[in-house]
Amino acid sequence: MKVDVLLGLQWGDEGKGKVVDFLTPRYDVIARFQGGPNAGHTLEFEGHKYVLRSIPSGIFQGDKLNIIGNGVVLDPALFKAEAEDFEASGIPMKQRLHISRKAHLILPTHRLLDAAYEKAKGASKVGTTGKGIGPAYTDKTSRNGLRVGDLERDFDTLYAKAKERHLGILRGLLNESEWDAAMKDLAEKEKVWMEGVSYLRQFTFTDSEHEINRLLDEGKSMLCEGAQGTMLDVDFGSYPFVTSSNTVCAGACSGLGVAPNRIGRVYGIMKAYCTRVGGGPFPTELFDEDGEKLTSIGHEYGAVTGRRRRCGWIDLVALRYAIMINGVTDLIMMKSDVLDTFETIKACVAYEIDGRETDEFPYSVETGVKPIYCEIPGWKCDLSQMTSEDEFPEEFNNYISFLEEELSVPIRIVSVGPDREQTIERYLD
């Protein structure tokens, strides 16, 4: 069996959770391969809205196994709050979810370090979620991290050593009043965090790389779920305004222990326009009435942070780059209905950089990048009530055809609203 991968192609918030939930009935296993509780995968069905931060989006399907892979960083306190909410809704979490022993833990002191580092950057701050994810990945790469499997060892000793190391770093970053406030905050965070540790111990810990490959050898089908988006990848994104992990398809290999030759389909998710949360370059960002309209109609606010998302037209230069890096085989377009009322829709087909036109994504897009647009007539009708491709207006079909020609990859699924049922397949085999 091959592993299919589903990931975002823009700056995150593309709608991955909804698509995973939609595709889950076709798979036996859903696995999350990177990121932390900065994900905000939103699902809506049967009149309810759910936001998943660390838990894979297949958790609502009763006969599916969900796995949190080794590439994920996990905060026990936030995990407990998230999982208990689902348990209260009748989801048997402990039966449906396995957790890799190699997944790293986010400690309370990681959150303090995150805030201190971001404050020290001043005007150059990245705009992190403040959940300690970056410092946790830093400890991982510097070989100082604690992992889920350490909960089966002399964890108290290991935790005390890691905490003391972090406090030594914080002493050099904070003044006296900031230190006092941080220590008070730490005492409160630590109590809740330790309760999360006790709760986490009730779950099945697994050597997930062995489990995943065994399941594949047994003929089980698997969908791997990424968090954030390609343009936030720590290597290939708009560095330094990126996340701390590999959000691209290769991250599924290292984040789950899957060999490259076991990757099958790669589903790339994009919005019909483009959004970004936090700092960093955004060539097609709009500061006019169209931008406000996208924000308002699209309800563009972060599912985790509540922060207003920056909005702009679709960027085909960045999308072609993301498709190349990930080896995308199938495109999925989300939030098409948000563009229903626009007379004209624009798509960035190239950049002008220092008077030179290019259709390749550059090393840096921080300064001097001017988007070159192509204009497409809008469809001016309500897509959200449509249930099949046959109902699409000619103008919307033209938009889809234009994107497929520009991106050289078929758009297999189109979302026309937030609900599970508002998802239309186009020749998906």
Residue found under tokens 């003044």: 175
The DSSP element (H or E) to which 367 belongs, if any, is none
* Cβ neighbours of 39 (radius 10 Å): 28
Q: Which amino acid is at 239?
A: Y
Q: Which residues contact 94 (CB under 8 A, 6 or more apart)?
A: 202, 203, 204
Q: Pick from 308, 307, 310, 302: which is nearest to 281 by CA?
A: 310
- Do residues 146 and 104 make contact, with C-beta atoms less than 8 angstroms apart? yes
- Do residues 246 and 254 make contact, with C-beta atoms less than 8 angstroms apart? yes
- Strand pairing of 65-68 and 97-100? parallel
- Dihedral angle sign, alpha carbons of residues 226, 193, 159, 96: negative
- Is 41 annotated in the active site? yes
- Strand pairing of 310-312 and 204-206? unpaired
Q: Which residues contact 136 (CB under 8 A, 6 or more apart)?
A: 36, 73, 104, 105, 106, 107, 110, 145, 244
Given the residues 13, 75, 114, 330, select the one marked as catalytic: 13
Q: How far apart are the first and last CA of the chain?
A: 16
- The two tokens of residue 428 are 């998906």
- Is 207 annotated in the active site? no
Residue 222 burial (C-beta neighbours within 10 Å; 0-12, 13-18, 19+): buried
Q: Pick from 394, 380, 391, 387: which is nearest to 417 by CA?
A: 387
Given the residues 4, 28, 41, 233, select the one marked as catalytic: 41
In this structure, the chain runs to a length of 429
- Do residues 139 and 81 make contact, with C-beta atoms less than 8 angstroms apart? no
- The two tokens of residue 80 are 């407990």
Residues annotated catalytic, as ranges: 13, 41
